[in-house]
């Protein structure tokens, strides 16, 4: 068989889903629509419209009894949960009551390009005092987020959970909780903009930076350069944690999200193990671990079997930093039992840690194996690096916005090979697409955000370019993105 014939068949069918591949061992695509990833152009609508109104405005915010001023959606941090069913039309009227322009990005959802919420790329910022209506058919179920994509506004409080339920739920559970992990400094030591100015003025070093030389072969990794005064779960500090009520024998679904700006978290549940069922909203073959590392922008769903009555710590520790965020898992059968100390670290944090090599796509979807007649149409070899002296971050030596677009053509099978020459984690996020992490199993997870480890860490992923537009590709560390670690993937417009 000629390579051209094989590629035409492969890409023609793959184009039915946004990077949606369901390949068998012989390289023949499945025609089972349930095994395809969604495309906005082919999203099957329910005809229902779910309408929300969000006001971005200055807001008061309390952390452990201290009052701060920040920015938030509808007066709270996190913003209100938006929940709907796949195929519904989401219509959100954003009112901007901030003293600056803003947008909303629907993190992880492969929406149509004009709705993606990237300032000066897919839309102008919504100016102070004005409104903008986002409207699109939600093409896929899963755990997602929404947040501002202007400057460092994410590091204030402009984020919230977006939950898309499937038309038919196949996962069995009794209770569900959403946990958003955050790092917080706004109003404590000035603003995020002040923090960035200090990073630039101090040669990229703020707070304790002893773990800088991190990564494989280089000791503990630093997730970011900012030591935050608070780490939060659902807007609450460790001194004032939320309690999650359960009964013995419950199967509890935890939706774990990391909308923080500069912190990779390691999460564990004391006295329990976690069975991971979804990565970045999409189902994976279940894998049971003690702890999960969650980079900025990543999400994991996990089932916790409530089989150990008591009051237990749900702990999220920042990698390479001091501090702890937590909630409490409280069994109804254990009323009156005292919670563990606020700084208690579950031993599970040092147990089996989830890795990308553990994860396999639940539908066994995959790109064909590389060979004589198969392989990507285009490969981007990209180096991630930074200059800590000036606190500037690069992709292949270029800083956004003064950076060349990454070329692709519609319908191509594209591979990104990333190598991290810096000494910090880089959670790389591609808008508008799911990609498949090449993790050595041949059936790696489909994600939209993936961590590249520091100190020569490598990551490779594949996608099909079938959602035309101008798409942002960037590090989801807000300070890295703001100082240049971003590029545009632009095609078909």
Residue 24 scores a pLDDT above 70: no
| Confidence tier at 203 by pLDDT (50, 70, 90) | low
What's the rounded Cα separation, in Å, for the pair 315 and 327?
7
218, two tokens: 């280089």
Q: What is the pLDDT of residue 123?
A: 98
- Spatial distance between the Cα atoms of 114 and 118, rounded to a whole number of angstroms: 9
71-75, 98-102, 374-378: which has the minimum mean pLDDT? 374-378
- pLDDT, tens digit, 9 for 90 and up, residues 377-428: 999 999 999 987 889 999 999 999 999 999 999 999 999 999 999 989 999 9
pLDDT, tens digit (0-9, with 9 covering 90-100), for 130-179: 999 999 999 999 999 999 999 999 999 999 999 999 999 999 999 999 99
In the structure, what pLDDT confidence band is assigned to residue 12 with cuts at 50, 70 and 90? very low
What digits encode the pLDDT tens for the residues 320-371? Answer: 999 999 999 999 999 889 999 999 999 999 999 999 999 999 999 999 888 7
Is the confidence at residue 33, as pLDDT, over 60?
A: no
Instruction: State the residue for tokens 């095994």.
Output: 35
pLDDT band at 44 (very low <50, low <70, confident <90, very high): low
* The pLDDT of residue 204: 53
Whole-prediction pTM: 0.90
CA angle 290/295/299 to nearest 5° reads 75
42 or 128, which is more confident? Answer: 128
Interval 252-281 mean pLDDT: 98
Confidence of residue 217 (pLDDT cuts 50, 70, 90): very low
The radius of gyration of the chain from alpha carbons, rounded to an integer in Å, stands at 22
Q: Which residues have a Cβ under 8 Å from the Cβ of 160 and sit 6 or more positions away?
A: 73, 78, 79, 80, 81, 82, 145, 146, 147
CB 480 within 8 Å of CB 396: no
Q: What is the pLDDT of residue 21?
A: 40
pLDDT at 442: 80
At 43 the pLDDT is 60
Q: Give me 227's structure tokens.
A: 């030591």
pLDDT for 493: 62
The answer on pLDDT for 7 being more than 60 is: no
**What pLDDT was estimated at residue 336?**
84
Mean pLDDT score, 182-192: 94
Share of the chain above pLDDT 70, in %: 86
Q: How far apart are CA 77 and CA 91, in angstroms?
A: 21
pLDDT band at 462 (very low <50, low <70, confident <90, very high): very high
Q: What whole-number distance in Å separates Cα of residue 148 and Cα of residue 19?
A: 26
Q: Show the tokens assigned to 259.
A: 């909308």
Q: Which range among 66-70, 386-390, 409-413, 430-434 shows the weakest confidence by mean pLDDT?
A: 386-390
Q: How far, in Å, CA of 325 to CA of 328, rounded? A: 11
Predicted confidence (pLDDT) at residue 9 exceeds the cutoff of 70:
no
Across the chain, what does the average pLDDT equal? 88
The structure tokens listed for 18 are 């946004």
Q: Among residues 208, 198, 195, 213, which one has the least CA distance to residue 422? A: 213
User: Each residue of 79-126: pLDDT tens digit?
Assistant: 999 999 999 999 999 999 999 999 999 999 999 999 999 999 999 999
The pLDDT score that the predictor gives to residue 16 is: 34
Q: What gap in Å lies between CA 158 and CA 46, rounded to an integer?
A: 29
pLDDT category of residue 13 using cuts at 50, 70 and 90: very low
**Using CA atoms, how far apart are residues 158 and 57, in angstroms rounded to an integer?**
9
3-state secondary structure the chain: CCHHHHHHHHHHHHCCCCCCCCECCCCCECCCHHHCCCCHHHCCCCCCEEEEEEEEEEEEEEECCEEEEEEEECCECCCCCEEEECCCEEEEEEEECCCCCECCEEECCCCCHHHCCCECCCECCECCCCEEEEEEECCCCEEEEEECCCCCHHHCCCEEEEEEECCCCCCCCCEEEEEEEEEECCCCCCCHHHHHHHHHHCCCCCCCCCCCCCCCCCCCCECCCCCCCEEEECCECCCCCCEEEECCCCEEEEEEECCCCCCCEEEEECCCCEEEEEECCEEEEEEEECEEEECCCCEEEEEEECCCCCEEEEEEEECCCCCCEEEEEEEHHHCCCCCCCCCCCCHHHHCCECCHHHCCECCCCCCCCCECCECCCEEEEEEEEEECCCCEEEECCEECCECCCEECCCCCEEEEEEEECCCECEEEEECCCCEEECCCCCCCCEECEEEECCCCEEEEEEEECCCCEEEEEEECCHHHHHCCCEEEEEECC
Q: What is the mean pLDDT of residues 257-283?
A: 98
Half-sphere exposure of 289 (CA within 13 A, CB side): 24
Long-range (24+ apart) CB contacts under 8 A made by 114-119 are 114/469, 116/431, 116/432, 116/469, 116/471, 116/472, 117/149, 118/149, 118/431, 118/470, 118/472, 119/149, 119/150
pLDDT score for 22: 35
Tell me if 103 sits within 8 A of 431, measured CB to CB.
no
Residues 6+ apart with CB under 8 A from 233: 179, 180, 181, 182, 241, 242, 314, 316, 325, 326, 327
């Amino acid at each position: 068989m000629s390579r051209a014939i094989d590629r035409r068949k492969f890409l023609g069918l793959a184009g039915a889903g946004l990077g949606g591949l369901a390949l068998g061992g012989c390289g023949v695509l499945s025609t089972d629509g349930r095994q395809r990833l969604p495309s906005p152009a082919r999203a099957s609508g329910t005809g229902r419209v779910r309408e929300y109104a969000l006001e971005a405005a200055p807001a008061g915010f309390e952390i452990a009894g201290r009052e701060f001023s920040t920015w938030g959606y509808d007066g709270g941090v996190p913003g209100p949960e938006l929940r709907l069913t796949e195929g519904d039309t989401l219509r959100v009227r954003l009112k901007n009551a901030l003293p600056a322009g803003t947008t909303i990005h629907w993190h992880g959802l492969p929406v149509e390009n004009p709705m993606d919420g990237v300032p000066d790329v897919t839309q102008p910022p919504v100016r102070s005092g004005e409104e903008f209506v986002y409207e699109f058919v939600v093409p896929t179920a899963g755990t997602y987020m929404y947040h501002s994509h202007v400057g460092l506004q994410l590091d204030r409080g402009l984020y919230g959970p977006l939950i898309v339920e499937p038309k038919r739920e196949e996962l069995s559970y009794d209770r569900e909780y959403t946990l958003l992990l955050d790092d917080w400094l706004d109003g404590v030591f000035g603003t995020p903009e002040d923090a960035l100015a200090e990073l630039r003025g101090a040669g990229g070093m703020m707070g304790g930076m002893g773990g800088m030389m991190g990564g494989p072969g280089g000791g503990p990794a630093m997730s970011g350069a900012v030591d935050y005064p608070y780490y939060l779960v659902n807007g609450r500090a460790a001194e004032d944690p939320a309690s999650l009520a359960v009964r013995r024998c419950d199967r509890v679904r935890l939706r774990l999200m990391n909308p923080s700006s500069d912190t990779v978290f390691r999460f564990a549940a004391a006295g329990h193990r976690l069975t991971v069922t979804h990565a970045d909203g999409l189902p994976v073959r279940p894998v049971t671990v003690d702890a999960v590392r969650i980079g900025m922008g990543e999400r994991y769903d996990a089932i916790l079997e409530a089989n150990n009555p008591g009051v237990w710590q749900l702990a999220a520790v920042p990698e390479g930093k001091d501090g702890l965020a937590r909630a409490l898992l409280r069994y109804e059968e254990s009323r009156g039992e005292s919670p563990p100390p606020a700084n208690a670290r579950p031993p599970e944090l040092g147990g089996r840690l989830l890795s990308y090599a553990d994860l396999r796509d639940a539908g066994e979807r995959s790109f064909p194996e590389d060979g004589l007649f198969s392989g990507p149409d285009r490969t981007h070899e990209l180096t991630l690096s930074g200059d800590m002296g000036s606190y500037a971050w690069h992709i292949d030596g270029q800083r956004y916005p003064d950076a060349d677009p990454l070329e692709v053509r519609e319908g191509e099978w594209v591979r990104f090979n990333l190598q991290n020459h810096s000494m910090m984690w880089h959670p790389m996020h591609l808008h508008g697409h799911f990609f498949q992490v090449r993790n050595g199993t041949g059936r790696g997870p489909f994600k939209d955000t993936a961590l590249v480890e520091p100190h020569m860490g490598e990551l490779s992923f594949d996608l099909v370019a079938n959602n035309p537009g101008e798409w942002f590709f960037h590090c989801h560390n807000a300070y890295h993105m703001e100082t240049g670690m971003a590029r545009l993937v632009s095609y078909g417009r």
